[in-house]
Amino acid sequence: MTRVIDMEIGLPSSEANPALERVAHGRPGTPFAQPLPRPEGYGFDNYNRVFRTRGRPQPQAQPADDGGLDRLVQDMDRAGIRCGLLVGAENGATGRIHARHPGRFLTFVTFDPGDGMRAVREFERLVREEGANGLRLSALYNGVPANDRRYYPLYAKAVELDVPVRIYTAMNYANDRPYDLGHPRHLDDVAIDFPELRIVAGLAGWPWVNEMVGLLRRHPNLYVDTAAHHPRYFAQPGSGWEMFMQYGNTLLQDKVMTGLSRYLLGASFEELIAEYRKLPLKERVIEKWLYGNAAEFLRL
């Protein structure tokens, strides 16, 4: 059976706190106490317009009784997924998740960069006491690019704790904030200033794929995952992924990790894994993408 480490598994709805999504998908930055209603289709609502295209599979609606993490683990077992990075969980759920399903999920915690040393101390506690596996940053939600110095104490602590950081790296379609908050260029400063920090560029940097490839060649501890992109498009001519596929099959074959994002893409684990296996990659390379590179990067 195929072995897989999934770098983006969505938290089942039954396990999620709806208030977190409302805040994350709201106004970027610090909210005003008395905001006016926003225009229709503005902000994150614009994703519904951009991705409402003919023939595109829609994200699977999760039923109220989705079986939670127990059923998710059963689905992972059927697909040969050893473990996965769970996105959407609260920091405070870290210890509980690991206690319920030891070794099956990776939890990367997230913080407000304005919390300073309070965030650093809580980050250390979550790693040492609750089993958190790393740090996650997303300028998409807070509007603060990854090279902002307010993150630097957290990066230093990640190096000290020897845990990785996953940084949102891609264009966004929320049209109430800059489109390039996740540009790969922001990673260059971080990798220069923290050469020991293990960084994974989540979502692979599209449409700045050529720059992403250049930075992966430039920085030894910078890796990338394919989350949020359907594998069928990687090998499609004109999709913009040509250099990623060329280098991902050759010089950068040890730096690409797979994020299946099954809820987002509206497909099962098995269907997505089969799509990856159809890509024009050497057999040993696809095994690295699906499992080996993540096992190495995460020190599993």
pLDDT of residue 114: 93
Q: What is the mean pLDDT of the chain?
A: 94
User: Mean pLDDT, to the nearest integer, of 198-204?
Assistant: 98
What's the pLDDT score for residue 175? Answer: 95
Confidence of residue 63 (pLDDT cuts 50, 70, 90): low
Percent of the chain with pLDDT over 90: 85
Residue 21 above 90 pLDDT? Answer: no
**Mean pLDDT score, 199-211:** 98
User: Helical H runs in 63-175?
Assistant: 68-79, 94-100, 116-130, 139-142, 152-161
User: Bigger pLDDT: 65 or 275?
Assistant: 275
How high is the pLDDT of residue 31? 66
Alpha-carbon separation of residue 146 from 41, 43, 191 (angstroms) = 27, 21, 11
284 burial level (CB within 10 Å; 0-12, 13-18, 19+): exposed
Higher-pLDDT residue of 122 and 30 is: 122
> Cα dist. 249→120, 129, 181, 292 in Å?
38, 39, 28, 14
> What are the domain boundaries of the chain?
4-15+63-297
Q: Which residues pair with 81 in a beta bridge?
A: 4
- Position 54 scores a pLDDT of 47
Give how far Cα 277 sits from Cα of 29, 222, 252, 265, 290, Å.
40, 24, 18, 17, 9
Give the model's pLDDT for residue 51.
87
Q: What pLDDT score does 61 carry?
A: 54
User: Over 60: is that where the pLDDT of 134 sits?
Assistant: yes
When mean pLDDT is compared across 38-52, 65-79, 269-283, the lowest value belongs to: 38-52
pTM: 0.92
Average pLDDT of the segment spanning 220-241: 97
pLDDT surpassing 50 at residue 30: yes
Please give the pLDDT value at position 53: 58
Chain centroid offset of residue 116 CA = 23
Lowest mean pLDDT: which of 36-45, 53-62, 66-75, 174-183?
53-62
| For residue 19, pLDDT beyond 80 | yes
pLDDT surpassing 80 at residue 222: yes
Instruction: Report whether pLDDT(237) > 50.
Output: yes
Tell me how far apart the alpha carbons of residues 213 and 223 are, in angstroms, rounded to a whole number: 10
Closest CA to 218 of 241, 240, 199: 199
Report in angstroms the alpha-carbon separations of 199 from 9, 15, 166, 299.
18, 28, 6, 13
Q: What is the model's pLDDT at position 155?
A: 98
Query: Is residue 57 predicted with pLDDT exceeding 70?
Result: no
Query: How confident is the model at residue 66, as a pLDDT?
Result: 86
% of the chain with per-residue pLDDT over 70: 95
4-15+63-297: CATH class = alpha beta
